[in-house]
Structure 1
Amino acid sequence: MVINTLNFEAPGKQQSFLRVPYSHNLGGWANVMIPITTVASGEGPTVLVMGGNHGDEYQGQIAAMKLARELTPEMVTGRIIIIPSLNFPAARAATRLSPLDGKNLNRSFPGEPEGSVTSQIAHYLTTVLFPMSDVVIDLHSGGRSMEFEPCAHMHLVDDKEQRQKMLAAMLAWNTDFAFLYADIAGTGLLPVEAENQGKLVVTTELGGGEAVPAHIHQIAESGLKNVLIHVGAIHGEEQTRESLGKPPTILTQALDAEDYILAPESGIFEVKFELGTKVQKGDCVGLIHHMERPDREPEQLIARSTGYLMTMRSPCLTQQGDCVIVVAQEVDINSL
């Protein structure tokens, strides 16, 4: 069972660890120690901020660490709980999956109290942290496998009031694009568990790859703070795209499995358009080159709809079945 030494009901700032029991060959009574910070003052919402759901996604982890250092009780109206590197073993190993049990934390919910380390973390969130939270912020990027046009994103939840609150919070990130997405790779997602508990859930895909440009860090930090202002968790004046002198966010969606283009063969992937480019149905948006048969014409990857190229595979070397491109259609915000 996960051990917590913080008093979540106490005002002020506390920094400690969530301790997950774990035995290994050289440690019979060891713990995985996950850093956690709480900052609380007065009446207001409880916001749970998490990075590192996937260990190789560092943009959110850095933004969350900075937030944990900078926040003081005087800045907060309510309670903010920050876990910068949620899947801590994976973050230390720079891997998507936990090296301790091979599990994907984002496919492990609701978890088990006496399961593997990953399952115990999921269970603690499901049974302790989500129930006490009003807002859940899950910071993602593409990690080493994917590159995204930087965006805040969300699911289209059935509850219309919950959906509208999530939509407004997503837009408060002030990214050029926002993205409505579907689950095509299984169940057990962290955001879905929080959504099912009725929480206002905000998620992101802030670029990807191993190198993180400075402007991505800026989007992560400024967007996170603006969303916290938007939901009433910290003091400050909320910024909008208009107040920043920017055009409205382009809202896109990829809700059909055909929007997610998978590699039909293994080979070397070549993308044909820059991220954020609008492509037409029938365009060749990428190629798979055949290493063993360079004399063969490459396999063409065809857009099945008109929309924006939101995502591309980051490593060129590609296996059959890998997602290599996502094309998302523009949608009218008023239709939601």
Structure 2
Amino acid sequence: MATTPVHCTIDLQAPGKQVGRLELPRSNNTSGWSHLFVPIVSIAGESDGPTALVVGGVHGDEPEGQIAALRLARETAPGDVTGRLVVVPCASPEASRAYTRLWPNGVNFNRSFPGDPDGPADRQLAHFFSTVLFPLADVVVDMHSGGRSGLCPPWSEMHWVDDPAQRRAMVDAMVAWGTDHHFVYIDIAGTGLLVGEAERQGKVVVSTELGGGGHVTAATHRISQSGLANVLRHVGVLRGEARARETPGIIGRATDVENYLLAPESGLWETFVDLGERVTAGQPVGQIHFLERPDREPAVVCAQNDGIVFVVRAIATTDQGDNVAVIAREVTVEELY
């Protein structure tokens, strides 16, 4: 096992079901000697099979995946598993308690990978994932949503990866979630993502954006939980037959920077388009109003390509450079292979 300052209270190789925590050393204003606790559950099946790592709560204001992971960890018994299931229900518990995207110190945990054992707490935890948890796993599931700032339909998603065999396995696992929409994306806000490091290590990686806009519906919870279970059946970690839809739903590919529309100025965002709407290049999709200048015409934002609206900004207050919409090109499963 790699040298790490993170202590895991369970044996990740042991049989049966174990509930424990990861402990990160820290010091704060109320305690010179302190640990940050991150929950972890390991469920080993009674027969050999692949290992899946399921992660929720990388961002604190995305509860959909946290709840799905908590239910999975609580309701799954060793007899339900072939191989091993490792669940980290919430990787950023302090951010979850504050209902913020970032850690209280302003760190984005999803920009901390591959991590550093000698770095701050976020990089120590990322290093533990990169050197201990990822090497154990064949499949990594990282659940996100639009949080408070982004409004999107619930979808499963994946990065575009170059290796054909890895990409095909990821496409099939993504579609197995059973959402009406699926999304293939690139990083436009920096490197250091959890999924990026898992992909670099050759894992089959599935992620999600399970709605957003600061609210969660019962339907979103249902597809979060049923989709997660179906993916785990598809990859052979949960027992049972995976369900397959007759058609995979709408697949959007946003692998060009022009697909991501950014606010040209700061102000109040007004969207003109709805989720799922088909738009054409040059079509206005929204505009920025200027509260201090009621006499000034709004700054109009136009689509840069033909496609489908996959994301719109959920909150009106907008800073220059914030993402206000994503227009993805529709593709088929065969095109992704």
SS at match of 1:228: helix
Contact kept? 1:87, 1:118, Cα under 8 Å? no
| Pairing of 1:147-162 with structure 2 (within 5 A) | 147-162=151-166
Question: Which residue matches 1:315?
Answer: 315
Q: How far, CA to CA, are the matches of 1:215 and 1:332 in structure 2?
A: 25
2:312 aligned with 1:334, yes or no?
no
Contact kept? 2:6, 2:128, Cα under 8 Å? yes
Contact kept? 1:139, 1:204, Cα under 8 Å? yes
Question: Which residue matches 2:52?
Answer: 47
1:145 to 146, 149, 153: 149
Contact kept? 2:175, 2:248, Cα under 8 Å? no
- List gaps (5 residues or longer) in structure 2: none
Q: Which amino acid aligns with 1:240?
A: A
- List gaps (5 residues or longer) in structure 1: none
Per mean C-alpha deviation after superposition, the further-off stretch among 74-83 and 148-157 is 148-157
Question: Which residue matches 1:65?
Answer: 70
Question: Which residue matches 1:163?
Answer: 167
Question: Which residue matches 2:100?
Answer: 95
2:256 aligned with 1:240, yes or no?
no
2:69 aligned with 1:85, yes or no?
no
Question: Which residue matches 1:256?
Answer: 256
SS at match of 2:161: coil
Contact kept? 1:146, 1:209, Cα under 8 Å? yes
Q: How far, CA to CA, are the matches of 2:79 and 2:125 in structure 1?
A: 30
Q: How far, CA to CA, are the matches of 1:145 and 1:27 in structure 2?
A: 34
Deviation at 1:333, TM superposition (A): 2.0
Q: Which amino acid aligns with 2:74?
A: R
User: What's the TM-score, normalizing by structure 1?
Assistant: 0.96
Q: How far, CA to CA, are the matches of 1:319 and 1:335 in structure 2?
A: 36
Contact kept? 1:51, 1:64, Cα under 8 Å? yes
2:190 aligned with 1:181, yes or no?
no
Q: How far, CA to CA, are the matches of 1:169 and 1:200 in structure 2?
A: 8
SS at match of 1:53: coil
| Pairing of 1:254-293 with structure 2 (within 5 A) | 254-293=254-293
Q: How far, CA to CA, are the matches of 1:161 and 1:248 in structure 2?
A: 20
Per mean C-alpha deviation after superposition, the further-off stretch among 272-281 and 170-179 is 272-281
Q: Deviations over 1:209-265 (max 9, x none)?
A: 2211111111100100000000000111211122xxxx4311111111111111111
1:28 to 27, 32, 42: 32
Q: Which amino acid aligns with 2:17?
A: K
SS at match of 1:288: strand
2:118 to 106, 114, 117: 114
Aligned length: 331
1:56 to 57, 61, 66: 61
Deviation at 1:19, TM superposition (A): 0.5
Contact kept? 2:160, 2:255, Cα under 8 Å? no
Sequence identity (%):
53
Per mean C-alpha deviation after superposition, the further-off stretch among 291-300 and 251-260 is 291-300
Q: How far, CA to CA, are the matches of 1:50 and 1:161 in structure 2?
A: 23
Q: Deviations over 1:284-307 (max 9, x none)?
A: 111111111222221111011111
Q: How far, CA to CA, are the matches of 2:266 and 2:335 in structure 1?
A: 39
Q: Which amino acid aligns with 1:292?
A: E
Deviation at 1:332, TM superposition (A): 2.7
